[in-house]
Amino acid sequence: MGKVIVKKLKIDTCHGVNDFEKRKPQRFEFFAEVGCDFYEAAKNDDVAQTINYSTVCKIITAVATQNVFNLIETLAGRCAQAILENFPKADYVKMRVEKPQAPLKVRFKTVAAEVELKRTTAYLSLGSSMGDKKAYLDFAVKELAATRGITVKKVSSYIESAPYGGVAHNTFLNACVEVETYLPPRALLSEIHRIEAAGERSRNLRWDDRTLDIDIIFYGREVVCEDGLTIPHADYMNRSFVIEPLREIAPDFICPLAGTMIKNLAVPASK
């Protein structure tokens, strides 16, 4: 793993919550660190095989000068997104934006916002037990692919399964999806909830029949245990309708908790 670094890129532009900041340019300084494997670039002395820092500077300049944001947090985030989207070879971006001329009535050197975005492979489980089930799953895949920061890489076959959890009554249609994303887990969950709502999901009773259900099963090899978010999914190993489609698209993925490849997990009996 290598990194390409840009430091103290100075751009005069307009960002801030005050009206005068939106009209009168002031100095901003940008720092970018882009992680990538540039072994082949160094071996062949070929700029096309690395992260071109000239292009990084042009991307930052375009984002900074073609938009007006209230927050430097937004400016940092949009710059990081644009860099990742323009460089498929980039594994992560660390972005820092400094505003040394911020209109504060105190003595200070600078104010800054930092963000880090990294590409991660995540696995999602899709399910539907109401209405046109296939259409709802197709809708979910289409919406995921259309969401900024998410790229759909693989979609499993759709399989039917018996209702699970003792509340739902209808047969489910299920699938798993492999996505590449730079959205952090919470942001990914937020987009999932948006897609579920757009798919007419009702949350009246847990495990009841539903038009669309999307669960995060894995987010890279990260382990997350927070209020409302557990990764790996706490119950996935008890669900044949998750294990079977996962085996199809990610047989060699190793569960960070079980330490076992998906293809070696026992498929639970349908319930």
pLDDT value at 266 more than 70 = yes
pLDDT of residue 244: 95
Q: Are 237 and 258 in contact (CB under 8 A)?
A: yes
Which burial class, exposed, middle or buried, applies to 7 when counting CB atoms under 10 A from its CB (0-12, 13-18, 19+)? exposed
Q: How confident is the model at residue 142 (pLDDT cuts 50, 70, 90)?
A: very high
Catalytic residues: 201, 210, 213, 215
Residue extent(s) of CATH 3.30.70.560 domains in the chain = 120-264
Query: CATH fold of 120-264, please?
Result: Alpha-Beta Plaits (3.30.70)
Q: Following CA atoms 253, 234, 176, 139 in sequence, which dihedral angle do they give, to the nearest 10 degrees?
A: -150
Within the chain, all domains assigned CATH 3.30.1130.10 are found at 2-118
Are 63 and 52 in contact by the 8 Å Cβ rule? The answer is no
Over residues 38-67, the pLDDT tens digits come to: 999 999 999 999 999 999 999 999 999 999
Question: CA neighbours within 13 Å on the CB side: how many for 51?
Answer: 28
Question: What is the per-residue pLDDT across 199-250, written as a single tens digit (0 to 9) for each?
Answer: 877 666 565 778 899 999 999 999 999 998 999 998 898 889 999 999 999 9
Whether 185 and 224 have beta carbons less than 8 Å apart is answered as yes
Model pLDDT, residue 162: 86
The arithmetic mean of pLDDT across residues 79-95, rounded, is 97
**Under 8 Å between Cβ of 140 and 214:** yes
pLDDT in tens, 20-41: 999 999 999 999 999 999 999 9
Q: What is the mean pLDDT of residues 86-92?
A: 95
Confidence category of residue 174, pLDDT binned at 50, 70, 90: very high
Under 8 Å between Cβ of 90 and 34: yes
Tens-place pLDDT, residues 90-105:
999 999 999 999 999 9
Averaged pLDDT, 172-191: 97
Does domain 2-118 fall under CATH 3.40.50.300? My reply is: no
Question: Over the chain, what is the mean pLDDT?
Answer: 93
Backbone angles phi, psi at 92, to 5 degrees: -155, 165
